[in-house]
Structure 1
Amino acid sequence: MKDKILKQITDYYLNSRDFNGFPLYNFDKNYTDLICQLIDEDKVEVLSSAFVLNPHIKTLRLNIDKEEQKKEVINKCDSVVLYPTEKYLKSLNINSEKPFTKMLLDGQEQLKILFFNIEILESYFQDPRYEVFWSDYRGSIVVADEFYDDNLEGEYIKDFGLGYHKEKLYEERVVGVFLGDLADLSLNAQLKWKINYLDHQQDYFINGGFYKNLILGEWVDEVSIYDAVLDEMIVINNMCENMDIPHLFNKIYKPHTFEKPEDYRIMFLPTLKNYYGFMLALEKIIVHNINYKTFTTVARFIKPVERKDDKGNLKRSLQMMSEWLKQNIRTSENIDELIINPLKSIRKIRQVPAHEIYSNQYDKSLLKKQNEMILETYKAIRSIRLFFVNYPGNRDIKVPEYLITGENIRVY
């Protein structure tokens, strides 16, 4: 009878759609003693509402004391659910062509995070058949509607997160995915991800925001520096309205959404092509987006600058900005060093792919260069807002609290 009970629990787990546990109330007789013996023999384990929110799916490895498990069975507590143990399942040597489905067949937990070479994401970003939604530390992959019937329906990743090497940290980014999501992929898709599976999984860890949000169910109050730049631009334009001058930026992009320029994000593959793509997006968002009319408009306490130089040539926007800031702001800070030079660097780097033929290269140092560039850009844009706040009435303009404190801004 004990073997029959174990088989019933095991068959239910293996044949259920989501590798569900067998509810204790499904037994038509009282098998408490036999189930407790199976727990002692490491063949059956127990989840209940006393241990987890949803005991019908084994989400995490909990290592619950056996006596506590047996107590739930003896007391027939609410939502007692039985599972074959990982040790017992592995002894069955169940075969499967699908490598990640095999891991669930062997009893591993659904929310186990597996780590992969981050380059696999590039194949999805560069393929128009997929839509990749990315929000700085987590994202998802879906098949575009028009291609859903092209044998791609098995490629759907509900959640993936940014991970790092424990020693190299931000110098080596990886991608982490829940085992449950990977096990739902088609055979071809699982094999594709398996190729990018990293050895020494224990050397990697997932981003804290991903863990807090999706594992612990906690609210994440961190903000990406990429969104912080866009929020600063919104505040600056609002201050311009109060100053009765045209918006400093012609176009505003929505932060904290997926509605941002495609390459305005961290690079997944550190190549020159991707780096220059990022610089092009940054140049369009910031430098090319500057409104020269801001600097030629007369307003209260504000002196304009000329549109043309002494020779009658049109001045560039950054030259006008430099003159305008120095003319209207009293500060001991070096305005060119603080604001103008970082923005000039964007334009200078952007000119390379625009005017030269270059060969694409793989270079991990580009990750550091990208981080340095977005940091310098943020400091420049933030400095403009801090200068503007001293204009009469601008202190009443609403500024997101995180921009004021700067405490939760992250470079992922």
Structure 2
Amino acid sequence: MDKENILNEITSFYLNSRDFNGISIEDLYKKSSLLENKFKEKITALIKNRKIDLIYEGDIPNPHIKPFPAPAIEKQIEKLHQFQIDDHIKQSEVGAETFGEGDIKIKFVQGIGCCVYPAPDHLKNIVDWKKYISRPFTLRLAMGEWQLRPYFFELGILAIYRNDPRYKYRTDDITGSIIYVDEKLLNPSDQIFIEHFGFGFGDSGIRAVAILLTDLAKLTPEHQQIWKAKMLGGYYKYRLHPEFRRSILGDFYEKESIFSAFLKELEIIKEMSEKIGGISLINKTFEYDEKPENFGFLILPTLREYELFCHTLDRMMSDNLNKEFFKDKISESDLSDGETMEKIDNQLIRKLEIWINKTVRFSDHGPKDEMFKTFREIRGLRSKPAHSHFKNEWNLRFYEDQKKLIKQAYTAIRTLRLILANHRNTKSVEVPDWLFKGEIRTF
């Protein structure tokens, strides 16, 4: 097999494989029918001429896909001459493990861990782009782009899926996923699954959606067109959220989202208050899968989105206080002049304030007073006339207004947890190390 036929074999395998996979160097060697030294000579020439690339298992976990750009030419060639293909094939056949019985047997052979790919410089000259005209992201893979390359999009595109109950939209404000709920409810063209999306930031600090090319290429042609229309130009202007970057590389988060921290604080407050009073101070806590729809960073900088967030935040704070918790814990003697039990019956923020002042002694009232100020400010924001009475507004300042508000709200909830933590009955309640240390992302 000459160089041209070897190149054609590599290219054909790549373009006709399910996920734009590389062919293993052992399989290519067997197909070539060449002596090993001649085979390596031709492979080396193809690498130098920028026709092919070698991807090695030592550089990535799975060389059968190209997650990142290929190594330097010199490194590819150096590694090629570090192993003996013939010897490895013989040894691996001898040491292969066989599973199964009777006619159904599977033999597992340990590979070298090297796959061969057509290089982008070669693919751009031979790929028929017309075959991919309706699939712009699949075309990019066909042209040899690396699978884990992130692309950035306008944040508002997520509203298409979040606001449509036919899709399950999940996010912890660092990463997320989108999947259609029932194929009976959607046309085949709308039955999409985005396994892994995340976020990034432009020079201005405003959020953008980040999705890996491998996930974009799996979208239907119709949805690839939708995402292409919302793609942000100037790739170099954007950077990935640091925790999303870690998740791409298979690592755990170093820090959690402020929204995840808020939900965890509610859980701990619930547990602590049950230890103190035998009943929870909080009506409802929220798991990742069931958090309120509008509890997260805004995906549209509109007045309506901001007001929905304020409304949701108040429902999770003031409205989430359990009226029954205060039963038999407050009496007339605890009230200020002019107050009666009847008057404050539904004033849960005030009841919480009375109970805390009665139960806890403070050397510094500042954090506690600031906490109640925040509770009341958020209740006031919710009490403003509903957005339906006003014309909706698009303004980037809503992004910053919301960031400021969630920081204030989280500080208030954290302060409440710290106050309860001083009670002798709460010493057994465990607080996650990341929450205790404040390892939280506020962006």
Q: Taking structure 1 as the reference length, what is the TM-score of the superposition?
A: 0.91
Residue equivalent to 1:313: 343
Which 10-residue stretch deviates more, 290-299 or 85-94?
290-299
**What's the offset of the Cα at 1:212?**
0.8
**What's the offset of the Cα at 1:6?**
0.9
DSSP 3-state at the match of 2:294 = coil
The correspondence for 2:118, drawn from 72, 84, 89, is 84
Pairs aligned (count): 403
DSSP 3-state at the match of 2:290 = coil
Contact 1:36 1:70 in 2 (8 A): no
Residue equivalent to 1:6: 7
Which 10-residue stretch deviates more, 235-244 or 178-187?
235-244
The correspondence for 2:72, drawn from 64, 78, 95, is 64
Residue equivalent to 2:304: 273
CA gap of 1:52–1:385, structure 2 versus 1, over 3 A, is closer
> Does residue 236 of structure 1 match 2:269?
yes
DSSP 3-state at the match of 1:258 = helix
CA distance in 2, matches of 1:391, 1:149: 53
Which 10-residue stretch deviates more, 269-278 or 44-53?
44-53
Contact 1:140 1:159 in 2 (8 A): yes
Residue equivalent to 2:405: 373
DSSP 3-state at the match of 2:5 = helix
Q: Taking structure 2 as the reference length, what is the TM-score of the superposition?
A: 0.85
Q: Which amino acid aligns with 2:167?
A: Y
- Kindly provide the CA deviation profile for residues 81-125 of structure 1, in whole angstroms up to 9, marking residues without a partner as x: 111111111122531202111111111111111111111111111
CA distance in 1, matches of 2:232, 2:388: 37
**What's the offset of the Cα at 1:46?**
0.7
CA distance in 2, matches of 1:312, 1:126: 41
CA distance in 1, matches of 2:189, 2:144: 27
Contact 2:277 2:325 in 1 (8 A): no
CA distance in 2, matches of 1:359, 1:212: 41
CA distance in 2, matches of 1:355, 1:204: 33
**What's the offset of the Cα at 1:305?**
4.1
CA gap of 1:69–1:264, structure 2 versus 1, over 3 A, is same
Residue equivalent to 1:202: 236
> Does residue 175 of structure 1 match 2:175?
no
In the TM superposition, 1:2-151 aligns within 5 A as 2-26=3-27, 27-28=30-31, 29-30=33-34, 31-69=39-77, 71-72=79-80, 75-76=83-84, 78-92=112-126, 94-95=128-129, 96-97=132-133, 98-147=135-184, 150-151=187-188
Contact 2:40 2:80 in 1 (8 A): no
CA distance in 2, matches of 1:24, 1:402: 45
> Does residue 383 of structure 1 match 2:406?
no
**Structure 1 spans left out of the alignment, 5+ residues:** none
The correspondence for 1:364, drawn from 374, 377, 396, is 396
CA distance in 2, matches of 1:223, 1:365: 24
Contact 2:54 2:117 in 1 (8 A): yes
CA distance in 1, matches of 2:378, 2:320: 13
DSSP 3-state at the match of 2:424 = coil
**What's the offset of the Cα at 1:138?**
0.7
**What's the offset of the Cα at 1:32?**
2.0
Contact 1:122 1:268 in 2 (8 A): yes
- Kindly provide the CA deviation profile for residues 19-60 of structure 1, in whole angstroms up to 9, marking residues without a partner as x: 111222223323221111111111111112233221111111
CA distance in 2, matches of 1:13, 1:304: 80
Residue equivalent to 2:100: none
**Structure 2 spans left out of the alignment, 5+ residues:** 86-111
Contact 2:183 2:191 in 1 (8 A): no
CA distance in 2, matches of 1:200, 1:123: 24
CA gap of 1:361–1:236, structure 2 versus 1, over 3 A, is same
Residue equivalent to 1:327: 358
Contact 1:9 1:21 in 2 (8 A): yes
**What's the offset of the Cα at 1:303?**
10
- Identity rate, percent: 29
